[in-house]
A and B are shown apart, each in its own frame.
Chain A
Amino acid sequence: MTHYSLFTLLRNALTGHRHWDRAWRDAEPQESYDVIIVGGGGHGLATAYYLAKEHGITNVAVLEKGWIGGGNAGRNTTIIRSNYGLPGNIPFYEWSMKLWEGMEQDLNYNTMVSQRGVLNLYHSDAQRDAYARRGNMMRLHGVDAELLGRDQVQAMAPFLDYENARFPIQGGLLQRRGGTARHDAVVWGYARGASDRGVDIIQNCAVTGMLRGPDGSVTGVETTRGPIRAKKVGLSVAGNSSRLAEMAGLRLPIESHVLQAFVSEGLKPLIPGVITFGAGHFYVSQSDKGGLVFGGDIDGYNSYAQRGNLPTVEDVCEGGMALMPMIGRARLLRSWGGIMDMSMDGSPIIDHAPVGGLYLNAGWCYGGFKATPAAGWCFAHLLATDQPHETAADFRLDRFATGHVIDEKGQGAQPNLH
């Protein structure tokens, strides 16, 4: 594999950039592997990378039904942050943030990690108190958080509507280390690192069933390219976890829902970081190409359709208009949707399945992009050692049965509200 550096860039510039090596190998399936990861999104590829790099397990295949990064990894709004409020979550997301901070050096790949700050606005005294509490929880766990007043927010983002009669902006909770990363580059960077260490990345290979041993444990998978055996099978299929689990006879505490995202025409630099509206559900940042990237609520009913409906488009745009009326002057370029696992408490599952040989990385809801490095790290740890990683020990499948749910929003078992 070519090491990327200023020197290789200059050398390739001299030959018109026509002789770069392929970044990763498009492999053919072998008969069997030590570990099969189902799903070539960010999580699956990161898992394979850390299995090889941290645990020396390289006889690994990543099976992807389409092309890598064609799922939610390539559809999300690229926000990364670790501003959670519950003990089960904070150490995990902070570990993820630390991995983001070292990712480009580690992968030797420009994933465009940009710590431009994530600002959550508050619009009432009660919301300020809740954010102060969240900020304190974060700081007690060693995560950066600053509570800003209205003047400080106005200095950062003068274009917001401060005089909105119903939702005046009172201030915000800022995590300066939060920001955005280039989603496709994250996929390609992990794919390159994994492939270089011997992992087979196999595209156009949909898993259609599970191979079972005499004791019922999973011993491999049926695919559209034939059966492939493995000692361990890890599921990392974002919104399709219930479908794959069903192949092993399991039902999960998960529903599949669609989330939409939107991008405007390219504009001059306008929005300094990520800004979220606290009185409706709306978040916005600006891509390096200049497009305003924004989103809001999920459509709200179970869906595998991978595209959303108009009422949510209207709702998201109304949120944008309430927060920053000038957004009404920008033309919308594109919108799209992705299918996500909405879990019953809004938190993920990284655990053994109750069937031998099968492992779950599921339930990522709409916050799984920021989790990509740590989910890969912790899932690899579980697959390699059969023990949960310390930062993901609470993401158990049995927490719903035992009452140890991790419900940041306090919504109860209503997945479409998380």
Chain B
Amino acid sequence: MRIPCPYCGDRDSQEFVYRGDASPVRPADPAEETEFFDYVYLRENPAGPIDELWYHAQGCRNWITLTRDTRDHAISAARLTSEGKSA
């Protein structure tokens, strides 16, 4: 699998560290325990497109938000996470 880093171009997935689903958002303090439980533990776990975080550890060291299909690994979008959700 190659990952299209917006900064470095297509790079082997081995250069990246995977952090997982990008959709859970840390609840703002003060938050209920149930909100934290939801954030830490519960996942959509979709069979289809998922937004997820990859860190280009052996490259530019940017965090990247990928949209990848979990059924066939087709990547439909890649953006720098620092640029926010809708780049």
Task: Provide the A167-186 mask, 1 if CB < 8 A to any CB of B, else 0.
Answer: 00000000000000000000
B21, A255: Cβ atoms under 8 Å? yes
| Contact indicator A304/B71 (Cβ below 8 Å) | yes
Closest to A250 in B: B42
B interface residue count range (under 10 / 10 to 19 / 20 to 34 / 35 or more): 20 to 34
Question: Which residues from B are CB-within-8-Å of A254?
Answer: 43, 45
A302 to B41, Cβ gap below 8 A? no
Give min CB distance, B27 to chain A, whole Å: 15
> Is there a chain B Cβ closer than 8 Å to A253's Cβ?
yes
Residue ID in chain B nearest A413 by CB atoms:
B40
Which residues of A sit under 8 angstroms from B20, Cβ to Cβ? Answer: 255, 301-302, 414-416
A343 to B14, CA, bound (A): 24
Cβ contacts B22-58/A at 8 Å (1 or 0 each): 0000000000011001001111110100101000000
Are B41 and A344 interface neighbours, CB within 8 A?
Answer: yes
Size bracket of the A interface: 20 to 34
Q: Tell whether, in the assembled complex, residue A242 and residue B13 are in contact, meaning their CB atoms are under 8 Å apart.
A: no
B71 touches A309 (CB 8 A): no
- Inter-chain contacts of B1 with A (CB < 8 A): 309
Asked whether A304 lies within 8 Å of B21 as measured between CB atoms, the reply is: no
Q: Is the interface of B mostly helix, strand, loop or mixed?
A: mixed
| A303-B73, A401-B34, A414-B20 known; A251+B14 contact, CB < 8 A | no
Q: Mark B70-83, 1 if CB is under 8 A from A, else 0.
A: 11110000000000
Closest to B14 in A: A311
Min CB gap B77→A, angstroms: 16
- Check A302 against B37 for contact (C-beta < 8 Å): no
**Cα separation A175 to B59 with both chains bound (whole Å):** 44
In the complex, are the beta carbons of A242 and B45 less than 8 A apart?
A: yes
In the assembled complex, the CB of A242 is this many whole angstroms from the nearest CB of chain B, namely: 4
Q: Are A304 and B70 in contact (CB under 8 A)?
A: yes
Chain A residue numbers with a CB within 8 Å of B68 are 301
Q: State in angstroms the CA–CA spacing of A252 and B20 once bound together.
A: 15
Which residues from chain A contact B33 at a C-beta distance below 8 Å?
A: 401
B71 touches A301 (CB 8 A): no
Q: Is A159 engaged at the interface, CB distance under 8 Å to the other chain? A: no
Query: Residues of A with Cβ closer than 8 Å to B?
Result: 242-243, 246, 251-256, 300-305, 309, 311, 344, 400-401, 413-416
- The 7 sampled A-B contact pairs (Cβ below 8 Å) are A253-B41, A255-B20, A256-B70, A304-B70, A305-B72, A309-B13, A401-B34
Interface residues of B (CB under 8 A from A): 1, 12-14, 18, 20-21, 33-34, 37, 40-45, 47, 50, 52, 68, 70-73
In the complex, besides A254-B45, A302-B20, 6 extra interface pairs with C-beta distance below 8 angstroms are A242-B44, A254-B43, A255-B21, A301-B18, A302-B21, A413-B40
